[in-house]
Amino acid sequence: MFNLEDVAEAWRYLPGVSAVVGAEVDRALPDIVRTLLDGGDLTEHPGVVVPDGRPMRKALPLRNLDDAPVPDFTDFPWDRYPVRIVPLMTGRGCQWDKCLFCSDVISASGRTFRTRSVESVLLEMQEQSDRHSTTNFLFLDLKLNSWPGMIRGIARDIGRYVRGAEWIGTVHVDRRSDNGLSRQDLDIAVEGGMRRVSFGLESGSQRLLDAMQKGSDVERNAQFIRDAHSAGLSVRCTMFRGFPGETAEDMEATVRFLEEHKERIDRIRFNEFTLHLGTPIWRTMMSRAAGDVPLQIRRQDSKQARVIYRNREPRVPAYRKAKAHALALVHEINRRPLRDAARQFDGLM
């Protein structure tokens, strides 16, 4: 988030900070460090600010991700962990790019969607597997199915590069006629080593999903959970409460959804809504007259790239009751052991 001016400003004057970088530095980092060590001008590098107050030159997103070097985890203390799980990314950004609350797609690396080739991803997995004697991988992409060919390509071909590979990743159950997540796709993904899938369920209320511009349907989310579970995947969801305008009826719809699907969901992360700087919902909240928005803005916490607010809407007893019910369901789900096939990934995602 250092690509956001306010955030970079909040950090660059901290004692001991030489520079703040809001850019994808996969290729540029060695040059930036060399410039620092040589006492050169760090601001010649796009996306870098120093504590002297000069403005940042914006860094463009990286164009060709296949040119980025394979991360070097040689110095990572692998021996302190029970399982070796190598993180990697197949692309940056998100092809949907529209959810009003999403801070990922305004960060330095998420601004536009770009994908690597399937082959470069498979070669990286092979190289990391050889280097670190492991077959476990964690995809850190915002979503693995922005380009459905990626998740399919990994599932279909990974066996030729890493025998016995097992992997987990995040997807978006979006409305495209082909989003790469059909029942057949999921069966093939499991055959190709996928063990766990995470997705942004957000809410069980269609009204609220539409208000967020999530681009997904409650019924399609439900079908995905059924399909992923019966294909053998451990299913994890992220959700949040407190989106501006959320009502007791929305929370009750979430409760009904969780009741219906709790046996097929392995883990839920259920956050409080955060108003992040630079997001579309933040722009709306800041641009409308102060008394006209459901959130009362208290202060900007630029270091954390967020705004501290108070929800003006009174939380009626029906809302509080439904929220308590939803939290009880989340607790019931999260205290169960994970599906056996996904155990080594417990605690990730």
Is the CB of 153 or the CB of 200 nearer to ligand SF4? 200
Is the CB of 134 or the CB of 238 nearer to ligand SF4? 238
Is the CB of 84 or the CB of 92 nearer to ligand SF4? 92
Q: Are 345 and 138 in contact (CB under 8 A)?
A: yes
**99 near ligand SF4, rule: CB under 6 A:** yes
**217 near ligand SF4, rule: CB under 6 A:** no
Q: How far is CA 278 from CA 62, 87, 100, 283, in A?
A: 21, 27, 10, 7
Q: How many CB atoms lie within 10 A of CB 102?
A: 22
Closest contact distance (angstroms) between CB of 210 and ligand SF4 is: 13
**209 near ligand SF4, rule: CB under 6 A:** no
Give the total of residues touching ligand SF4 (CB under 6 A): 12
**142 near ligand SF4, rule: CB under 6 A:** yes
For the window 310-339, what string marks contact with ligand SF4 as x by the rule CB under 6 A? Answer: ------------------------------
Supply 15's token pair: 């004692």
Q: Are 150 and 121 in contact (CB under 8 A)?
A: yes
Nearest to 268 by CA among 246, 242, 297, 238: 238
Residue 97 parent element (H or E):
none
Query: What's the rounded Cα separation, in Å, for the pair 187 and 192?
Result: 9
- Piece in contact with ligand SF4 (CB under 6 A), picked from 93-101, 184-192, 247-255, 283-291: 93-101
Among 91, 153, 192, 200, binds ligand SF4 (CB under 6 A): 200
Q: How many CB atoms lie within 10 A of CB 60?
A: 11
Is the CB of 200 or the CB of 242 nearer to ligand SF4? 200
Nearest to 102 by CA among 110, 92, 114: 110
Q: Which residues bind ligand SF4 (CB under 6 A)?
A: 94, 96-99, 102, 104-105, 142-143, 172, 200
